[in-house]
Amino acid sequence: MTVETGTEPQRRRHILLELGFATTMVGEELHGTATITPQMHAPGTGRLRTSVLATWTDTVTGLLAALTLGPRVPVTLELDVHLYRPAPGSGEVRAVGRKIKAGRSVFVAEVEWTVDGEPFAFGGGSFMVSPNEELRLPDRMSIDMPVTGQLLAVPLAERAGCERRAPGTAVLPRTDDGLNASRTVNGGLIALAAEEAMLSLAPGATLSTLGLRYLQAARVGPVVADATLRADVARATLRDAGNEDRITTLATGRLFPASGR
């Protein structure tokens, strides 16, 4: 989930709100829509970033988790996205999210993705309640979120300040407009850092899968992602550099075959 953070007069709109993703409840399902723009493309390609799909998957499954686990704050444990074919570069993306398991402390949901009516991906997320019992969701948390305000004006990585420092390494700063409800680095932006590290080893490629296992919140930053690539399989370790280089996330990805890039 994303929330606007910061204090006036310097308050900034949350980075991920600029992706223009709208959600609404339809029965027991959560539906989402967004229009793909060039600012969402993977570098050197005309295709939607897989990390953007991961971000939206986190939003849909996280909102569903909040409905079940609230008023306690849900924390993402695992997140994954799988594409049937290379991602589209334009069109209207639609999501349908459904609850799979709802226990006292763990929640699991899945999301199906289509573009212009054609399925092209699916994803899922699992959550637990935050161990910090003092954290609470807003009393009037909105599930129906229309698109409002400015959309991305620059590429997503640039907007987030995520930089490729060397082949296989990407660095993401901790900023107030990139935090989640528990005031730690948003899981969708961590997905972006993992993707950037992986794609820096294969310029012009895109990911067919992206899986993230969140081990610990990134509280201080910056987040440093180090990736390796063997054949078409990438692995990345993400660390909170300001918090004794503790591992926050393990990520895996698979590239589309060269003909599919």
Residues 253, 80 contacting (CB under 8 angstroms): no
Residues 63, 95 contacting (CB under 8 angstroms): no
Q: Which domains occur in the chain, in start order?
A: 15-255 (2.40.160.210)
pTM of the model: 0.91
The two most distant CA atoms of the chain are separated, in Å, by 51
pLDDT by position in tens, the chain (length 261): 443 333 333 356 899 999 999 999 999 999 999 999 999 999 999 999 999 999 999 999 999 998 888 788 888 999 999 999 999 999 999 999 999 999 888 999 999 999 999 999 999 999 998 777 777 777 666 677 778 778 999 999 999 999 999 999 999 999 999 998 778 999 999 999 999 999 999 999 999 999 999 999 999 999 999 999 999 999 999 999 999 999 999 999 999 986 555
